[in-house]
Structure 1
Amino acid sequence: MSLKPLKYLVGVLFILIGLGKISYASSISHHQINLSIDLGKKQILGTDSLILEVSEAEVPFRLSNGISIASIKSGSFSLDFSKMEPKEDHGKPEEGSSWTGYLLKVPAGSVGKELNVTLEYEGTYPSIDFEKDKRHYGLEVGGYLNDKSGLLLENAYWYPEIQGQKSLFTYQLTVRTEKGIAVVSSGTRTEKDNSIEFKMDFPTDQINVVFGPYYITRTNYKDIEISTYFTKDDPDMADAYLDKMKEYLKRDECELGTYPYKSMIVVDSPIMVGLGFPEFTLIGERLLTIPDMINTSLGHEILHNWYGSGIYVTPGSGNWTEGLVTYLADHQFNIKQNGQAITRMELLKQYTVATRGKPEKSLNQVGDDDASEDRAVAYQKSTMIFSMLESQIGKKHFYKGLRALTKEKMYHAASWDDFEKAFETESGQYLEPFFKQWVYGKGAPQITIKEEKSFPHILMTPYSISFTIHTDPLFQFNLPIEVQTETGIEKKTVSITKPDQKVFMLLPSRAQEIRVDPAYKVMRRLNDNELPANISIVLETNQELTVLFSKSLSKEARELYEHFLKLSEIKFHEIQELRQANGPVVLLGPPDTDQKIGGWDPKDVPWRWQKDSLEVAGGSVHGGDESAVLSWYGPAGYSQPIVWIVGYSKKGLNSLAQRLGYYMPWSYVLFRDGKSVVRGEWEKHPETLSLRVFN
Structure 2
Amino acid sequence: MRWSTPLLLGLLLGGPVAETHAEALAPAVHQQLHIVLDPDERRLRGEARVRVEGLETAAFGLAPGYRVTSLRVNGEPAPLGEDNHWRLLLNGHGADIELAYEGRLPSLAAAQAGEARVFLDADGGFFPRDAGWYPYFDEDTRYTYSLTVDTPSAQRVAALGLVEESEREGRRQTRFASSEPVLGIDLFSGPYRVQTLRRDGVTIRTYFTEALAPELADTYLRASARYLAHYSGLIGRYPYPDFSVIASPLPVGYGFAGATYIGEQVLRLPFIPHTSLPHEILHNWWGNGVYVHYERGNWSEGLTTFLADYGLVEARDPAAAAAQRAAWLRDYAALPEARDVPLRAFVAREDQASQVIGYHKAAMVFYMLRARIGESAFHEGLRHFWQEHRLRHAAWGDLRRAFERASGQDLGAFFAHWVDRAGAPRLTVEVAHRDGRLSVTLGQAVAEGEAPYPLLVPLELRWGDERQRRAVALEGRSRTVSFEAPAAQGTLAVDPDAELFRRLWPEEIPPIVRAVTLAPETRLLVAAADEAAREVARTVAAQLGMRLLPVAAGEAAEAPAEAPLLVVGTRAELDALLADRGWTRPEAVAGAGAARAWMDPEAPARLFVEGDDAQALAALGRVLRHYANESYLVWEEGRVGERGVWPVEDSRLVVRWR
Q: TM-score when scaled to structure 1?
A: 0.80
Provide, for residues 209-239 of structure 1, a one-character-per-residue CA deviation record: whole Å limited to 9, x for no partner.
1101112222222332222111224423111
Q: Does 1:236 align with 2:215?
A: yes
Which residue number corresponds to residue 655 of structure 1?
619
Q: C-alpha separation between the residues in 2 aligned to 1:323 and 1:608? A: 34
Q: Does the CA-based 8 Å contact 1:464-1:507 persist in structure 2?
A: no
Q: How far did residue 378 of structure 1 move?
A: 2.2
Q: Does 1:178 align with 2:152?
A: yes
Provide, for residues 578-609 of structure 1, a one-character-per-residue CA deviation record: whole Å limited to 9, x for no partner.
53463543221246556627835238x33364
Q: Does the CA-based 8 Å contact 1:666-1:679 persist in structure 2?
A: no
Q: Does 1:573 align with 2:549?
A: yes
Provide, for residues 649-668 of structure 1, a one-character-per-residue CA deviation record: whole Å limited to 9, x for no partner.
44333333333344445444
**Among 594, 599, 609, which residue is 2:581 paired with?**
599
Which residue number corresponds to residue 39 of structure 1?
39
The letter of the residue matching 1:471 is V
Q: Does the CA-based 8 Å contact 1:186-1:277 persist in structure 2?
A: no
**Among 541, 549, 574, which residue is 2:526 paired with?**
549
Greater share of residues in helix: 2
Q: Does the CA-based 8 Å contact 1:28-1:162 persist in structure 2?
A: no
Matches within 5 A, 1:331-410: 331-335=310-314, 336-337=316-317, 338-353=319-334, 355-410=335-390
Q: How far did residue 538 of structure 1 move?
A: 3.5
Which residue number corresponds to residue 23 of structure 1?
13
Q: Using a 3 Å threshold, how does the CA distance of structure 1 residues 381 and 68 change in structure 2: closer, same or farther?
A: same
Q: C-alpha separation between the residues in 1 aligned to 2:112 and 2:544? A: 10
Which residue number corresponds to residue 78 of structure 2?
79
Q: Using a 3 Å threshold, how does the CA distance of structure 1 residues 36 and 134 change in structure 2: closer, same or farther?
A: closer
Q: Using a 3 Å threshold, how does the CA distance of structure 1 residues 468 and 399 change in structure 2: closer, same or farther?
A: closer
Q: Does 1:681 align with 2:644?
A: yes
The letter of the residue matching 2:336 is R
Provide, for residues 105-156 of structure 1, a one-character-per-residue CA deviation record: whole Å limited to 9, x for no partner.
54xxx222222212222222211338xx976x6xx85311123421111343
Which residue number corresponds to residue 415 of structure 1?
395
Provide, for residues 159-202 of structure 1, a one-character-per-residue CA deviation record: whole Å limited to 9, x for no partner.
23234x42422222111121210000112332133411110222
Q: C-alpha separation between the residues in 2 aligned to 1:666 and 1:19? A: 45
**Among 202, 221, 225, which residue is 1:224 paired with?**
202
Q: Using a 3 Å threshold, how does the CA distance of structure 1 residues 462 and 202 change in structure 2: closer, same or farther?
A: closer
The letter of the residue matching 1:67 is Y
Matches within 5 A, 1:104-123: 104-106=87-89, 110-123=90-103
Q: What stretches of structure 2 of length at least 5 have no aligned partner? A: 1-7, 16-25
- Identity fraction in percent: 25
Q: Does the CA-based 8 Å contact 1:187-1:201 persist in structure 2?
A: no
Which residue number corresponds to residue 152 of structure 1?
127
The letter of the residue matching 1:239 is D
Q: Does the CA-based 8 Å contact 2:106-2:116 persist in structure 1?
A: no
Q: How far did residue 570 of structure 1 move?
A: 5.2
Which residue number corresponds to residue 633 of structure 2?
669
Which residue number corresponds to residue 60 of structure 2?
61
Which residue number corresponds to residue 5 of structure 2?
none
Matches within 5 A, 1:108-147: 110-129=90-109, 141-147=116-122
Q: C-alpha separation between the residues in 1 aligned to 2:304 and 2:610? A: 36
The letter of the residue matching 2:496 is P
The letter of the residue matching 1:546 is R
Q: How far did residue 671 of structure 1 move?
A: 3.0
Q: How far did residue 369 of structure 1 move?
A: 4.9
Question: Secondary structure of 2:152's partner?
Answer: coil
**Among 441, 445, 470, which residue is 1:470 paired with?**
445
The letter of the residue matching 2:87 is L
Which residue number corresponds to residue 624 of structure 1?
none
Provide, for residues 536-558 of structure 1, a one-character-per-residue CA deviation record: whole Å limited to 9, x for no partner.
4434x5965332234x7455543
Q: Using a 3 Å threshold, how does the CA distance of structure 1 residues 331 and 72 change in structure 2: closer, same or farther?
A: same
Provide, for residues 270-310 of structure 1, a one-character-per-residue CA deviation record: whole Å limited to 9, x for no partner.
22221122221111111112233111211122222222222
**Among 140, 145, 165, which residue is 1:191 paired with?**
165
Q: Does the CA-based 8 Å contact 2:599-2:605 persist in structure 1?
A: yes
Q: C-alpha separation between the residues in 2 aligned to 1:242 and 1:402? A: 26
Q: Does the CA-based 8 Å contact 2:60-2:137 persist in structure 1?
A: yes
Q: C-alpha separation between the residues in 1 aligned to 2:501 and 2:39? A: 51
Q: How far did residue 56 of structure 1 move?
A: 5.4
Which residue number corresponds to residue 599 of structure 2?
632
The letter of the residue matching 1:461 is G
Question: Secondary structure of 2:275's partner?
Answer: helix
Q: C-alpha separation between the residues in 2 aligned to 1:422 and 1:430? A: 11
Q: Using a 3 Å threshold, how does the CA distance of structure 1 residues 196 and 574 change in structure 2: closer, same or farther?
A: same
Q: C-alpha separation between the residues in 2 aligned to 1:117 and 1:686? A: 69
**Among 560, 564, 573, which residue is 2:540 paired with?**
564
Provide, for residues 227-256 of structure 1, a one-character-per-residue CA deviation record: whole Å limited to 9, x for no partner.
211122442311111221222123223222
Q: Does the CA-based 8 Å contact 1:487-1:509 persist in structure 2?
A: no
Q: Does the CA-based 8 Å contact 2:73-2:98 persist in structure 1?
A: yes
Q: Does the CA-based 8 Å contact 1:341-1:520 persist in structure 2?
A: yes
Q: Does 1:281 align with 2:263?
A: no
Q: Using a 3 Å threshold, how does the CA distance of structure 1 residues 157 and 672 change in structure 2: closer, same or farther?
A: farther
Q: Does the CA-based 8 Å contact 1:516-1:689 persist in structure 2?
A: no
Q: Greater shift after overlay, 176-185 or 38-47?
A: 38-47
Question: Secondary structure of 2:40's partner?
Answer: coil
Question: Secondary structure of 1:316's partner?
Answer: helix
Q: C-alpha separation between the residues in 2 aligned to 1:672 and 1:406? A: 45
**Among 185, 203, 219, which residue is 1:207 paired with?**
185
Relative contact order, higher structure (CA 8 A, sep 6+): 1
Q: C-alpha separation between the residues in 2 aligned to 1:171 and 1:544? A: 49
Q: Does the CA-based 8 Å contact 2:297-2:344 persist in structure 1?
A: yes
**Among 77, 102, 113, which residue is 2:85 paired with?**
102
The letter of the residue matching 1:342 is A
Q: How far did residue 509 of structure 1 move?
A: 4.6
Q: Does the CA-based 8 Å contact 1:384-1:523 persist in structure 2?
A: yes
Q: How far did residue 267 of structure 1 move?
A: 0.8
The letter of the residue matching 1:562 is R
Q: What stretches of structure 1 of length at least 5 have no aligned partner? A: 1-17, 84-99, 622-626
Question: Secondary structure of 1:64's partner?
Answer: coil
The letter of the residue matching 2:63 is S
Provide, for residues 320-346 of structure 1, a one-character-per-residue CA deviation record: whole Å limited to 9, x for no partner.
222222211111222224433212212
Which residue number corresponds to residue 23 of structure 2?
none
Q: Does 1:329 align with 2:293?
A: no
The letter of the residue matching 2:94 is E
Q: Using a 3 Å threshold, how does the CA distance of structure 1 residues 331 and 228 change in structure 2: closer, same or farther?
A: same
Aligned residues: 625
Q: Does the CA-based 8 Å contact 2:589-2:596 persist in structure 1?
A: no
Q: Does 1:449 align with 2:439?
A: no
The letter of the residue matching 1:153 is P
Question: Secondary structure of 1:596's partner?
Answer: helix
Which residue number corresponds to residue 497 of structure 1?
475
Q: TM-score when scaled to structure 2?
A: 0.85
